[in-house]
Amino acid sequence: MKRISLILLLTGLFDCHLAAQITFMVSQLPPNTSERVQLYVSGTFNNWAPGDPNYQLKKNEEGLFSITLNPPKGTHKYKFTRGSWTTVEGNAEGQFRPDRLIEYSGKPQTVYCNIKAWEGTAGTNKSTAGSNVIILAPSFNIPQLDRKRRIWIYLPSDYYQSDKSYPVMYLQDGQNLFDESTAFAGEWKVDESLQQIEQQTGQGIIAVGIDNGGGDRMSEYSHAPNARYGGGKGDQYVRFIIETLKPYIDQHFRTLSDRDHTAILGSSMGGLISMYAAVEYSEVFGKAGVFSPSFWYTEGQSYWHVLEEGNKPNLKIYMICGANEDRSMPQNMLAMKRTLLNVGFSADRVYHAIHEDGQHKEWYWAREFPGAVYWLFSDYLKANSRQVQRSSTIDPIFIKKLSDKEYELVYQTTMAKPKYSIVGESGNMLSKPKKLKLLELSSSNGFEQGSFKIKPPKSGSFFIQIYDDEQLLVVKEIKNEMP
């Protein structure tokens, strides 16, 4: 697929002497775009003239399209054209695309855009990525490894209509995160899940996806070499994220850049390198999502690394795998949990679950991704969430302890196929996914009310996982206070 990057520079004024800047980067054009394309921007700032030569983008020395404008403060609508309204941009299906919108405050600002398709073209773009998923760069330089890589970024839906700053998560295997058309065997649906979490809590999170290097993947995702498969360039890869990519993201986007708002996540070999990065550079990453980690690859070095580094205060690690993966996977992951606890990690900072139906596949990691986000970013989501309306997917009301052997969770829901499962503190499945029993409609608010009873383990905490069909929505920890 041919990709063309372009930069749009819009500048406003702080005062009559100093010009503020808005930078628009359109990093992806439809694959059927001519290399000789002439691009224009049209909007409220030029009375919607579609082919105004004063608003034509020009290629810079790097081969990128750019233009500099000085719009007044306020709300601006705009679109990209190829010179007329018959050659205007469309949505991913080549149909009508609503106007783009930006709230310009007069302060320096960067706006990133993708053009999915041209209006009137059909069937050429099979992308499933949302409109707020952008190819930040098709060939972002990795000086630590002397190579280049495609970088994706997901921005919250209100990013360009607010001045808020957001937490950031860095995810491996970028090809598989947002877009079915680039995924190896299905996508994680990261954009859909983060948008749903934003709708439920009112809080957005930025996600940065880094493509894997194909044949270099195992080498880049391992911090120690394997006797048979080699590798061991993981530290250079992580330093790329820390020294090059993260500073770029923090400079060009409104981020909460401290460790408490920065996470790293991955699956399989990506889970291996995410664990290494969080432990080795805990001053940068305060959270790690470790899905189906390939601890076997480093032949014990991952455990030694944790033993050498010791306890990392306030570092949260979320580990999951499936019982239907390699038979050593659950044992290796449990050994890592025990290692973390032995060096001083508190149990409330290490989440560990083994799902009976889990497989080493994208659909499983996609299902479990929302639960990881809720758990890893629980403090941020709770501290900053607005009052969620009752139309949200799930709203727990309370947990009631009926006796030492029985708890009840009462909730309100608009879920289509509500299910729950119970996971013990060590990750063992205490109950398979079961349907939630729905009670009568509440006359006060018109929403279904449901409840279920569970038998807790004899000691220790346990977790309730609530699903809508196969989509994990909530993971709630219950402190078992039995004598």
User: Can you give the pLDDT at residue 149?
Assistant: 93
18 and 147 co-located in one domain: no
User: Can you give the pLDDT at residue 15?
Assistant: 40
199 and 301 co-located in one domain: yes
CATH code where residue 151 lies: 3.40.50.1820
Placement of tokens 């009670």 in the chain: 439
User: Can you give the pLDDT at residue 234?
Assistant: 96
β partners of residue 42? 79
User: Can you give the pLDDT at residue 344?
Assistant: 95
How many structural domains are present in the chain?
A: 3
Domain presence at residue 211: yes
Q: How far apart, in whole angstroms, are the C-alpha atoms of residue 199 and residue 276?
A: 32
Domain presence at residue 280: yes
404 and 364 co-located in one domain: no
User: Can you give the pLDDT at residue 128?
Assistant: 84
Q: How far apart, in whole angstroms, are the C-alpha atoms of residue 319 and residue 328?
A: 15
299 and 158 co-located in one domain: yes
Spell out where 14-60 has E strands. Answer: 19-28, 40-43, 58-59
Tokens of 82: 């190829």
User: Can you give the pLDDT at residue 148?
Assistant: 93
219 and 324 co-located in one domain: yes
pTM, to two decimals: 0.71
184-227 tens-digit pLDDT? 778 999 999 999 888 888 899 999 999 999 889 999 999 999 99
**Listing from the earlier edge strand, what are the strands of the sheet with 394-403?**
394-403, 406-413, 448-454, 437-441
CATH code where residue 447 lies: 2.60.40.10
Q: What is the mean pLDDT of the chain?
A: 81
User: Can you give the pLDDT at residue 62?
Assistant: 57
270-297 tens-digit pLDDT? 999 999 999 999 999 999 999 999 999 9
User: Can you give the pLDDT at residue 11?
Assistant: 36
Domain presence at residue 124: no
234 and 379 co-located in one domain: yes
348 and 428 co-located in one domain: no
Q: How far apart, in whole angstroms, are the C-alpha atoms of residue 71 and residue 78?
A: 12
User: Can you give the pLDDT at residue 262?
Assistant: 98
β partners of residue 13? 19
Instruction: Look up the domain containing 81 and give its range.
Output: 6-118
- The secondary structure of residue 72, as a DSSP letter, is P
Q: Which of 133, 207, 193 is nearest to 393 (CA)?
A: 193
Residues of the chain with pLDDT under 50: 1-19, 386-398, 412, 439-449, 482-483
Domain presence at residue 210: yes
Q: How far apart, in whole angstroms, are the C-alpha atoms of residue 105 and residue 110?
A: 12
Q: How far apart, in whole angstroms, are the C-alpha atoms of residue 204 and residue 385?
A: 10
User: Can you give the pLDDT at residue 32?
Assistant: 80
Q: Within 13 Å and on the Cβ side, how many CA atoms surround 204?
A: 21
14 and 39 co-located in one domain: yes
Domain presence at residue 1: no
361-418 tens-digit pLDDT? 999 999 999 989 999 998 888 766 543 333 333 444 445 566 666 666 655 455 667 7
User: Can you give the pLDDT at residue 389?
Assistant: 34
Domain presence at residue 483: no
User: Can you give the pLDDT at residue 455?
Assistant: 65
